[in-house]
Structure 1
Amino acid sequence: MKIALIGYGKMGKAIEAIALQQGHEIVLRIDLDNAAEFTKENLSKADVAIEFTGPHSAVNNIRKCLEFGVPVVSGSTGWLAEWDAVAAYCKSVDGTLIYSSNFSIGVNLFFELNKYLATLMENYPDYDVSLKEIHHTQKKDAPSGTAISLAEQILAMIGRKREWTNDMAAKEPHHLNIVSERIDPAPGTHHVIYSSAIDDIEIIHTAHNRTGFAGGAVKAAAYAVGKKGIYTMKQVLGLS
């Protein structure tokens, strides 16, 4: 598989290492210092693009990959307010897009556990639910995309919670509070906590390094090749 890396920071380099170990080829590396090389001619050498950049550049990067006819796997977070427009564009050009807030296999299993637990807890209003996420200090968005995904799953299952907030001062009973901490060198820890006067129930996912995220992104890239449409890690991992 020939891969274009759109974004060559720590995550891009981790993806490169995993891809090369698996026998894949990196045919293009795009970062801030060579953005002019992000052309149709250069991207056409790739079977798939893996995009890990920032919230301000992700939408344009994804659209360019789709415009140039190359399947794109994106793990950038902080841009989902524009998801509907990007999804519509993908469909309009008969493109291929796989998006996930987190490509780690363990996190995606954690997502399934989170949904199931929330389904159970809907019937027990004495338990209040909150989230805590810890990332390294270079993490640009807060809360993290993974925390938002967890929160949205809970909101879909627990009717007494209507919106998430990252502001403790603004917390109301219908709010699902997300506490964001930035501590080096933490690659990512997510807590889902149900608390009552009697006891607490907590599930935790802790990443030890970036290898899980990188391996999942490469797995998603292999899944995208030869397909058309919009997919998630649920399809990639056979969870749906």
Structure 2
Amino acid sequence: MKIALLGYGKMGKVIERIALERGHEIVLRKSGKDTFEGLEHADVAIDFSIPDAAVSNISTCLDNNIPVISGTTGWLENYDKMVALCQEKNGAFIYGSNFSLGVNIFFQLNDYLAKIMSNIGQYKVAMEEVHHTQKLDAPSGTAITLAKGIIDNSDYSSWALENAKDDEILIDAKRIENVPGTHSVFYNSDVDTIEIKHIAHNREGFALGAVVAAEWIQGKKGVFTMKDVLDLK
């Protein structure tokens, strides 16, 4: 499989190593203002860039009939536009706020716990996410996905980074040097706390998941998620 890497920072380099170990070839390594030269040779593109570049990267792939996997967060106000473009072009697209197998299992656990807790009124939910200081968006895409899972399965309507109302989930976003990603969900009452947590030890899990998604999407058309890739539905 020939892969275009859109974003060649720390994550891009880990993805490259894992892809090569799995027998794939890298035909484009794009950073900053680099051109898309070489994209036409790719079987798939993997986008781990920055929020300001994600829409351009994804659009260019879909316009050129290249399946695209995106793990960039912080651009989701344009997600519906990318879905519409994918459908218009009869393309293939996966966005994931987090490609780690463990995190996607954590998402399922979070949804299930939210359903259980929705009828137990004495608990108030809150979240904490911790990432490295180079992360540009807050809260993380993973935290937003977790919050959406709770909202979809409870009476909560939104989330907030501060001064959360009764129907909002408070997310405490922290930036600490050299933390790959830690996410916690708390259900607090006067008598106890229920907590679920995922701790990433390095970037390997994110990178492997992205490469697995790129392998999975070959020959497919449509808009998918990691639930499809991992058959978690």
TM-score (norm 2): 0.98
Equivalent residue, structure 2, for 1:142: 138
CA distance in 1: counterparts of 2:85 and 2:14, whole angstroms: 29
CA distance in 2: counterparts of 1:61 and 1:111, whole angstroms: 27
Equivalent residue, structure 1, for 2:21: 21
Equivalent residue, structure 1, for 2:71: 75
Which secondary structure does the structure 2 equivalent of 1:171 belong to? coil
Residue deviations 1:26-62, cap 9 Å, x none? 11111115x22x14xx212111000011111101110
Equivalent residue, structure 2, for 1:203: 196
Structure 1 residue 118 corresponds to structure 2 residue 114: yes
Which secondary structure does the structure 1 equivalent of 2:8 belong to? coil
CA distance in 2: counterparts of 1:197 and 1:31, whole angstroms: 50
**Count of residue pairs brought into register by the alignment:** 233
Equivalent residue, structure 1, for 2:217: 224
Equivalent residue, structure 2, for 1:51: 47
1:19: Cα distance to partner? 0.6
CA distance in 2: counterparts of 1:192 and 1:239, whole angstroms: 21
CA distance in 1: counterparts of 2:121 and 2:153, whole angstroms: 13
Which secondary structure does the structure 2 equivalent of 1:148 belong to? helix
CA distance in 1: counterparts of 2:28 and 2:151, whole angstroms: 40
Equivalent residue, structure 1, for 2:208: 215
Which secondary structure does the structure 2 equivalent of 1:57 belong to? helix
CA distance in 1: counterparts of 2:121 and 2:50, whole angstroms: 38
Residue deviations 1:132-157, cap 9 Å, x none? 00000000000000000000110111
CA distance in 2: counterparts of 1:70 and 1:108, whole angstroms: 25
TM-score (norm 1): 0.95
- Indicate which of 57, 60, 66 corresponds to 1:61: 57
- Residue identity over aligned pairs, in percent, reads 54
Which secondary structure does the structure 2 equivalent of 1:32 belong to? coil
Q: Map of 1:34-183 to 2, 5 A cutoff? A: 35-36=34-35, 38-39=36-37, 42-159=38-155, 161-167=156-162, 170-183=163-176
CA distance in 2: counterparts of 1:171 and 1:6, whole angstroms: 36
**Structure 1: where are the runs of 5+ without partners?**
none
CA distance in 1: counterparts of 2:164 and 2:100, whole angstroms: 30
1:83: Cα distance to partner? 1.1
Which secondary structure does the structure 1 equivalent of 2:170 belong to? strand
**Structure 2: where are the runs of 5+ without partners?**
none
One-letter amino acid matched to 2:28? L
One-letter amino acid matched to 2:182? T
1:183: Cα distance to partner? 0.5
One-letter amino acid matched to 2:159? W
Point out 4+ residue stretches in structure 1 off by more than 2 angstroms.
Answer: none
Which secondary structure does the structure 1 equivalent of 2:52 belong to? coil
